[in-house]
Amino acid sequence: MRFVVRRGIFYLITAWAAVTINFVLPRLMPGDPVAALLAKSQGQIDSSAEDAIRLLFGLDQDASIWQQYVDYWGLLLHGNLGVSFMNFPTPVTEVIAQSLPWTVGLVGIATVISFTLGTLVGMGIGWRRGTWADGLLPATTFFSAVPYFWLGLIAIALFSVTLGWFPASGSYDRSMIPALTPEFAGSVIRYGTLPAFTIVLSSVSGWILGMRNMMVTVSSEDYVTVAQAKGLPERSVVVGYAARNAILPQMSSFTLALGFIVGGTLIMEMVFSYQGIGFLLYQAVGNHDYPLMQGCFLVITLAVLVANMAADVIYAVLDPRTRQEG
Amino acid sequence: MTATVSDRRPPAVPERTPVLEIENLSVDYGYDDDPAHVLRGVSLTLHRGEVLGLAGESGCGKSTLAYAATRLLPPPGLVTGGRVMFTDRDGSRSDVLALSDAELRAARWQDVAIVFQGAMNSLNPVFRVGRQIADGIRAHRSVGRREALDRAAELLEMVGISPDRLRDYPHQLSGGMRQRVMIAMALALEPQVLLMDEPTTALDVVMQRQIVEQIAELRERLGFAVVFITHDVSLLIEMADRIAIMYAGEIVEDAPAREIYQRPRHPYSSALLHSFPPLRGARRELSGIPGAPPNMAHLPTGCPFVPRCPHAADACRAGRPTLGPTAFAEAGRSVACTLHDGAREVPQELAQR
Ligand SMILES: Nc1ncnc2c1ncn2[C@@H]1O[C@H](COP(=O)(O)OP(=O)(O)OP(=O)(O)O)[C@@H](O)[C@H]1O
Ligand SMILES: [Mg+2]
Going by C-alpha positions, the residue among B172, B175, B184 that lies closest to residue B132 is B184
Average pLDDT on B286-304 reads 82
Residue B287 confidence (pLDDT) above 70: no
Vertex A284 angle, CA A283 and A289, to 5°: 145
HSE-up of residue B146 (Cα within 13 Å, Cβ side): 0
CB pairs under 8 A between A and B: 79
Residues of chain A with Cβ-Cβ distance to B181 below 8 Å are none
Residue B71 phi, psi (nearest 5): 60, 40
The amino acid sitting at B214 is Q
Q: Which pLDDT belongs to residue B7? A: 44
Residues of chain B with Cβ-Cβ distance to A248 below 8 Å are 126
HSE-up of residue B248 (Cα within 13 Å, Cβ side): 22
In angstroms, rounded to a whole number, what is the distance separating the alpha carbons of residues A12 and A14?
5
What's chain A's length in residues? Answer: 326
Q: Does A288 touch chain B (CB under 8 A)?
A: no
Q: How confident is the model at residue A40 (pLDDT cuts 50, 70, 90)?
A: low
In angstroms, rounded to a whole number, what is the distance separating the alpha carbons of residues A103 and A277?
6
Mean pLDDT of chain A: 83
| Residue A50: partners with Cβ closer than 8 Å, 6 or more residues away | A34, A38
Average pLDDT on B163-176 reads 92
Q: Which atom of ligand 1 is nearest to the CA of B246?
A: 21
SS3 A210: helix
Q: How confident is the model at residue B4 (pLDDT cuts 50, 70, 90)?
A: very low
DSSP 8-state secondary structure symbol assigned to residue B324? B
Shortest alpha-carbon distance between residue B105 and chain A (Å): 4
SS3 B13: coil
DSSP element (H, E) containing A305? helix A290-318
Flag the least confident range among A187-191, A207-211, B66-70: A187-191
SS3 B193: strand
Residue A186 confidence (pLDDT) above 60: yes
Residue A308 confidence (pLDDT) above 80: yes
Q: Which pLDDT belongs to residue B10? A: 44
DSSP element (H, E) containing B334? strand B334-335
pTM here is 0.83
Domain A95-288 CATH class label: mainly alpha
| ipTM, 2 dp | 0.86
| Residue A154: partners with Cβ closer than 8 Å, 6 or more residues away | none
Q: Which pLDDT belongs to residue B98? A: 94
Please list the residues that pair with A293 across neighbouring strands: none
HSE-up of residue B240 (Cα within 13 Å, Cβ side): 30
Q: Which pLDDT belongs to residue A173? A: 77
Q: Which of B32, B38, B58, B268 to mutate for ligand 1's pocket (most ligand atoms within 8 Å of CB)?
A: B38
Flag the least confident range among A125-139, B175-189, B310-324: A125-139
Q: Does B138 touch chain A (CB under 8 A)?
A: no
In angstroms, rounded to a whole number, what is the distance separating the alpha carbons of residues B314 and B19?
39
HSE-up of residue B15 (Cα within 13 Å, Cβ side): 3
C-alpha R_g of chain B = 21
Going by C-alpha positions, the residue among A75, A18, A29 that lies closest to residue A302 is A18
Shortest alpha-carbon distance between residue B213 and chain A (Å): 24
Residue B9 confidence (pLDDT) above 90: no
Residue A174 confidence (pLDDT) above 90: no
In angstroms, rounded to a whole number, what is the distance separating the alpha carbons of residues A204 and A117?
7
Å from CA of B63 to ligand 1 middle: 7
Cβ contact, residue pair B136, A230, below 8 Å: yes
List the end-to-end C-alpha distance of chain B, in Å, as a whole number.
51
Q: Which pLDDT belongs to residue A133? A: 74
- Atom 4 of ligand 1, residue of closest alpha carbon: B29
Give chain B's domains with CATH numbers.
3-10+19-240 (3.40.50.300), 246-350 (no CATH)
Q: How confident is the model at residue A278 (pLDDT cuts 50, 70, 90)?
A: confident
Residue B12 confidence (pLDDT) above 50: no
What is B123-168 written as a DSSP string? S-TTS-HHHHHHHHHHTTS---HHHHHHHHHHHHHHTT--GGGGG-
Average pLDDT on B304-327 reads 89
Q: Which residue has the higher pLDDT, B231 or B2?
A: B231
By CB atoms closer than 10 A (0-12, 13-18, 19+), residue A182 is: exposed
Task: Express each pLDDT in A57-87 by its tens digit.
Answer: 655 666 677 887 888 888 888 888 877 877 7
Going by C-alpha positions, the residue among B108, B30, B101 that lies closest to residue B64 is B30
Residue B251 phi, psi (nearest 5): -85, 125
CA distances A74 to A51, A299, A301, B294, Å, are 15, 17, 19, 77
Shortest alpha-carbon distance between residue A191 and chain B (Å): 42
Residue A47 confidence (pLDDT) above 80: no
Residue A22 confidence (pLDDT) above 90: no
Average pLDDT on A235-263 reads 88
In angstroms, rounded to a whole number, what is the distance separating the alpha carbons of residues A264 and A108?
11
Q: Does A225 touch chain B (CB under 8 A)?
A: yes
Residue B174 confidence (pLDDT) above 60: yes
Residue A194 confidence (pLDDT) above 60: yes
Task: Express each pLDDT in B216-234 by its tens digit.
Answer: 888 988 899 999 998 888 8
On whether the CB atoms of residues B68 and B25 are closer than 8 A, the answer is yes
- Atom 1 of ligand 1, residue of closest alpha carbon: B76
Nearest to B105 among A231, A241, A248 (CB): A231
Cβ contact, residue pair A231, B109, below 8 Å: yes
Flag the least confident range among A133-137, A192-196, B65-69, B267-271: A133-137
Helix pair angle (B205-222, B175-186), 10° resolution: 20
Residue A41 confidence (pLDDT) above 70: no
Average pLDDT on A197-216 reads 92
Q: Which pLDDT belongs to residue B315? A: 87
Exposure string for B22-58, b = 16+ CB within 10 A, e = fewer: bbebbbbbeeeeebbbbbbbbbbbbbbbbbbbbbbbe
List the end-to-end C-alpha distance of chain A, in Å, as a whole number.
11
Task: Express each pLDDT in B103-143 by its tens digit.
Answer: 999 999 999 999 988 767 899 999 999 999 999 999 999 99
